[in-house]
């Protein structure tokens, strides 16, 4: 229904990108309404993985991640609610940062209700990621909850001594998350890099009712999607143009009661307080950016992981949800490739508003690994 739509205004961060002198070469492909971590739609079709054209690029910023990996552009922007920056970056061996709420101002219909969707930068180097973040960030009165901290700090030197820094490896949250064993293996191998930097890395995770956290997120997400898209759903002609996953979200969201919404928000607050207390002990937490490797581009979403059935189109991405619900910044860094040559990544999660710390740790990690520089995708046909 938006195939021929051209926006009349730029977003705040796009104004800033243009004003900084950047050349915008176009828009990259996403799933319909950015719903789902697999980039396909009926207008532009499927965006395929930069390293295996039979596999998905991830999503929702799948087109942006592939354009970066393929060396078509140096930086890109995207948004992240359920991993839409972190997942495609992991699937295409690049970097992406989901910032704290308010770091990058977004003009919204309800400016005093912070969204779980945030805008963030993507790049092939941590320095470029920091540069774009410095341009996109900063207070704007159109977004009254935006952060007033000077964004030029992100272009300062990222060098730092990490001796004595404590890191928690969350893994699969004590068996709660079904995660491909090779995904865990690559991430756990990468933990040694942080130890070599002087960090203490321990397997630990906060004690919490993670299934309840997931259900709270689903309620908040579905309610938000319904509030956004229900006018299309209620129109018979436009409903026919919606993909099944959007209809499922809208119908579920329209059934969410006020009591359910209140419990979900309260549960989100409980989780933030739990993680904040946990991160008084640990400076960072690490966990995978996805639960499975890029899958065949012809399927809509993975139906099972390690024999466990996925009960929704986004359950297979549950690993990103605790961080979304916390509001803390998370930076995807590459961790290498599966035996079949498919990329994977890991989330570096910092305390609230500590994007600079995430950038510093990612930069130190990248200097030791150089995954992006050492392993570009092969040109098509090779």
Domains along the chain with CATH numbers: 12-204+282-374 (3.90.1300.10)
Directed axis angle between helix 258-278 and helix 210-233, to 10°?
140
Tell me how far apart the alpha carbons of residues 58 and 65 are, in angstroms, rounded to a whole number. Answer: 9
SS3 61: coil
Structure tokens at 37: 């971590």
The confidence score (pLDDT) of residue 14 equals 97
Distance separating the N- and C-terminal Cα atoms of the chain: 38
Q: What is the structure's pLDDT at 379?
A: 78
What digits encode the pLDDT tens for the residues 301-350?
999 999 999 999 999 999 999 999 999 999 999 999 999 999 999 999 99
**Cα Dmax for the chain:** 61
Buried b / exposed e across 12-24, counting CB within 10 Å, b at 16+?
bbbebbeeeeeee
* Adjacent-strand bridge partners of 345: 334
Give the residues of the chain that fall short of pLDDT 70.
380-382
Q: Where are the alpha helices (DSSP H) in the chain?
A: 12-19, 62-69, 86-91, 126-136, 181-196, 210-233, 236-239, 244-254, 258-278, 321-326, 355-369, 371-374
Which residues is 95 bridged to in the sheet? 123
Q: Which residue has the tokens 């309620």?
A: 219
Structural tokens at position 344: 């994977």
Asked if residue 225 lies in contact with residue 250, where contact means CB atoms within 8 angstroms, the answer is yes
Give whole-number Cα distances, 184 to 29, 361, 368, in Å: 29, 20, 20
Cβ atoms of residues 30 and 23 within 8 Å:
no
Q: What local confidence, expressed as pLDDT, does residue 375 receive?
A: 97
For residues 126 and 359, the answer to whether their CB atoms sit within 8 Å is yes
How far is residue 114's CA from residue 144's CA, in Å, rounded to a whole number? Answer: 10
Among 43, 58, 28, smallest CA distance to 243 is for 43
**Pair 153, 356: CB distance under 8 Å:** yes
Q: Are 152 and 140 in contact (CB under 8 A)?
A: no
- pLDDT tens for each residue of 137-157: 999 999 999 999 999 999 999
Per-residue confidence (pLDDT) for residue 114, from 0 to 100: 85
């Amino acid at each position: 229904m938006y195939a021929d739509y051209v926006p009349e205004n730029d977003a705040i961060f796009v104004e800033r990108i243009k004003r900084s002198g950047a050349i915008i070469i176009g828009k990259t492909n996403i799933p319909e309404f950015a719903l789902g971590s697999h980039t396909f739609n009926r207008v532009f079709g499927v965006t395929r993985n930069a390293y295996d054209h039979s596999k998905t690029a991830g999503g929702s910023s799948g087109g942006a991640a592939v354009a970066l990996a393929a060396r078509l552009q140096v930086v890109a922007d995207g948004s992240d609610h359920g991993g839409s920056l972190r997942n495609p970056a992991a699937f295409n061996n690049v970097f992406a940062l989901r910032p704290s709420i308010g770091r990058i101002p977004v003009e919204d219909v309800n400016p005093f209700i912070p969204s779980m969707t945030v805008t963030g930068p993507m790049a092939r180097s941590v320095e470029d990621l920091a540069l774009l973040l410095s341009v996109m960030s900063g207070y704007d009165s159109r977004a009254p909850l935006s952060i007033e901290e000077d964004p030029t700090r992100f272009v300062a030197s990222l060098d730092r001594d990490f001796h004595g820094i404590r890191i928690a490896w969350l893994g699969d949250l004590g068996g709660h998350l079904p995660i491909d064993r090779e995904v865990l293996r690559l991430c756990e191998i990468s933990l040694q890099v942080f130890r070599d930097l002087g960090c203490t890395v321990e397997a630990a995770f906060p004690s919490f009712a993670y299934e309840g956290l997931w259900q709270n997120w689903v309620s908040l997400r579905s309610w938000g999607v319904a509030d956004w898209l229900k006018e299309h759903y209620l129109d018979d002609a436009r409903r026919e143009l919606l993909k099944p996953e959007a209809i499922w979200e809208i119908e579920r969201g329209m059934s969410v009661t006020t009591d359910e919404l209140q419990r979900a928000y309260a549960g989100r607050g409980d989780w933030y307080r739990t993680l904040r207390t946990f991160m008084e002990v640990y400076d960072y937490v690490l966990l995978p950016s996805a639960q499975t490797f890029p899958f065949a581009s012809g399927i809509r979403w993975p139906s099972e992981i390690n024999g466990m059935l996925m009960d929704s189109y986004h359950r297979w991405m549950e690993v990103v949800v605790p961080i979304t619900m916390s509001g803390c910044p998370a930076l995807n860094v590459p961790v290498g490739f599966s035996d079949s040559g498919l990329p994977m990544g890991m989330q570096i999660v910092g305390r609230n508003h500590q994007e600079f710390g995430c950038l510093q740790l990612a930069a130190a990690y990248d200097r030791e690994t150089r995954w992006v520089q050492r392993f570009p995708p092969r040109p098509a046909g090779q």
